[in-house]
Structure 1
Amino acid sequence: MENPFSSTELLKSLPGFESHFEQVNGTRIHYIEGGQGQPLILLPGYPETWWSCHQIMPLLASKFRIFVVEMRGMGDSDNPADGYEKKNMAKDVYELTKLLELGKVCIAGQDIGAHVAYSFAANFPGATEKVILFDTPHPEEGMYQLPMLPIPGAQYVYPWWLAFNQIKELPEEIMEGRMNTLIDWMFDQLLVHKEAVTRFDRSVYAFAYNSKDAIRASNSWYQAFNNDIADFREYNKITVPLLAIGGSGYEVLKSGLRENATNVKLVKIEDCGHFLLSEKPQECADHIISFLSNA
């Protein structure tokens, strides 16, 4: 019997979408494709997979040809030993768009996916029509000022996992087969509406991240932050139209773009945590359609 959390089984609930693999930039990348119209790349974040987009995909499919790309280290894509700098992960996506002959694309990312979407626009502006960031800016110098300890009275979720995921080898030894505990904690802390990511959804993500190899690979996204910050210093300002949609991360997103992009539209989604596509899929879809439909 097929595992209920496999992409094959999950796609049975999304008619019109198909699973594909391509070899690009030395890595086999998995993506889900469906819909018709202008190409739109969707990049999920941590600790999610392509399934994080399952509510918004049908809402967009009549207007866009959607490609939900699992970046290297995520889901059914390969977990290579290296290459997790966001500049290189953006190259993975760029090579995929070239292989599929998509031309200029719109690209949207959540969390780690937002890092890659920003890097795509910075490194491949000629291939970028518009870019959308959900709740997260690109890694930058200010990350070095994050507190080592929770600040008493501060109204924020202390991001301890950014440091924990920097450690090599230990996290996979501790967390192998137990990622459901971490995943539950993160969703419970970072969602306003906890039920927006269901028990089934959480099991999908735990299934994807439970192995040592998957934990090692996803932690490599964090271990590349020093390189990402160094690359960011060298980037020119983003000049293509950029939509930044924030929930709980709105202020960080806003400050992270203030001097780094010239054509920015900022949107705050109220009563929403970090995982916007799960908590407010219709609202996110409406903003995406409005932004991308605007000449």
Structure 2
Amino acid sequence: MGEVLSDAELARSLDGGFVSGHADVNGTRLHYVTGGHGRPLVLLGGWPQTWWEFHKIMPPLAEHHQVIAVDLRGMGGSGKPAHGYDKKTMAADILELVRHLGHDRVDIAGHDIGGMVAYAFAANHPAHTRRIALLDIAHPDERFYAYSLLPRPGRQQVDGDIHAGPGRFLWWFAFNQVPGLPERLLAGRSRDLIDWMCDYLIKDPGSISDRDRDIYAHAYATPDAVRAGNAWYRAFGQDIADEKTYGRVTAPLLGLGGGEGGHMLLQAVLPDKGTDVEVVLVPDSGHYIPEEQPEIVVEHLTRFFV
């Protein structure tokens, strides 16, 4: 793994006057990167990445928005407390952060775990949510209990090779439930996991560069970082229970899905989750759509967050 710049250096490397900061909120410490001018737009990333997953889309979005890219509780430069990884608590983290930054009502977009937190934000804090976009993910619900521990022949594998089959076999949902073991296996070897995940869930592996992968691997290099990232998955049971208490999101809701199953998932799930829902296919993309198709993502977010 090559030398990795600090978050402050990475922020300064982006056009748009981006700066790195920290705030103590809701019993933890959150790292964020902000830049640009206009209505606030919060960006929340996912596992196993950091705020840096938005680096291709932040400068163009900053032409019309004050962009606030956040490391979630447990991610990157943010604190890694023992508890609080249910998405309702993490949404409260974000509410306190945006208030700390002087905002009361925000647009919010989330990818992967960040999308789950964005949805929980809109469901629990509707007065503070103007519009919401979910990138290739929906909030945990009862569907999660139906995911198979074995890949289905002909659907998720071909001749025993899960890379050759259509769809995604979400083995890491189970792996990340195991307490203690992932930290011991992955500490100091996180680049192997980063490469596997990127290559498995991406249309063009070159969309996430060697440098980007080093940044993510560095963020998950320690046992504490692995433990905190896994905690987002271990909280799914609580997230599913919480979701049952939510009404339909009333803020306009945009779903952007990749062509490897994300679009079909959002089409099937989101119409029942909101009162004003639009789902769009991002072509030629896998799961990591902000990095795979940044121009298309910027186009849709710009016209949606008007």
Q: TM-score range by the shorter chain?
A: over 0.9
Structure-2 separation of matches of 1:206 and 1:258: 36
Q: Is structure 2 residue 242 aligned with structure 1 residue 231?
A: yes
Gaps of 5+ in 1: none
Structure-2 separation of matches of 1:284 and 1:246: 10
Match of 1:268 in 2: 281
The superposition leaves residues 244-264 of structure 1 with CA deviations (integer Å, 9 ceiling, x where unpaired) of 000021111222212121100
Task: Judge conservation of contact 1:183–1:206 (CA < 8 Å) in 2.
Answer: yes
Q: CA deviation at 1:73?
A: 0.3
Moved more, 250-259 or 50-59: 250-259
Task: Judge conservation of contact 1:4–1:10 (CA < 8 Å) in 2.
Answer: no
What secondary structure does 2:244 align onto? helix
Structure-2 separation of matches of 1:207 and 1:7: 11
Structure-1 separation of matches of 2:57 and 2:251: 24
Match of 1:7 in 2: 7
Structure-1 separation of matches of 2:108 and 2:233: 21
Task: Judge conservation of contact 1:32–1:69 (CA < 8 Å) in 2.
Answer: yes
Q: Which of the residues 204, 207, 211 maps onto 2:215? A: 204
Match of 1:114 in 2: 115
The one-letter amino acid paired with 1:7 is: D
What secondary structure does 1:217 align onto? helix
Q: CA deviation at 1:166?
A: 0.6
Match of 1:221 in 2: 232
The one-letter amino acid paired with 1:269 is: V
Structure-2 separation of matches of 1:254 and 1:72: 29
Structure-1 separation of matches of 2:220 and 2:267: 30
The one-letter amino acid paired with 2:60 is: L
Q: Is structure 2 residue 190 aligned with structure 1 residue 179?
A: yes
Task: Judge conservation of contact 1:59–1:282 (CA < 8 Å) in 2.
Answer: no
Structure-1 separation of matches of 2:223 and 2:136: 28
Q: CA deviation at 1:122?
A: 0.1
The superposition leaves residues 130-161 of structure 1 with CA deviations (integer Å, 9 ceiling, x where unpaired) of 00000000000011000110000102121100
The superposition leaves residues 46-67 of structure 1 with CA deviations (integer Å, 9 ceiling, x where unpaired) of 1110110110001111100000
Q: TM-score, normalised by structure 2?
A: 0.94
Structure-2 separation of matches of 1:18 and 1:49: 15
The one-letter amino acid paired with 1:260 is: K
The one-letter amino acid paired with 1:12 is: R
What secondary structure does 2:22 align onto? strand
What secondary structure does 2:247 align onto? coil
Q: Which of the residues 262, 265, 284 maps onto 1:252? A: 265
What secondary structure does 2:77 align onto? coil
What secondary structure does 1:265 align onto? strand
Task: Judge conservation of contact 2:24–2:30 (CA < 8 Å) in 1.
Answer: yes
Q: CA deviation at 1:273?
A: 0.2
Displacement over 6 Å in runs of 4+: none
Gaps of 5+ in 2: 156-165
Q: Which of the residues 265, 274, 277 maps onto 2:290? A: 277
Q: CA deviation at 1:271?
A: 1.1
Match of 1:168 in 2: 179
Structure-2 separation of matches of 1:228 and 1:85: 6
Q: CA deviation at 1:11?
A: 2.3
Q: TM-score, normalised by structure 1?
A: 0.97
What secondary structure does 2:248 align onto? coil
Moved more, 73-82 or 258-267: 258-267
Number of equivalent positions: 292
Let me know the Cα RMSD of the aligned residues.
1.1
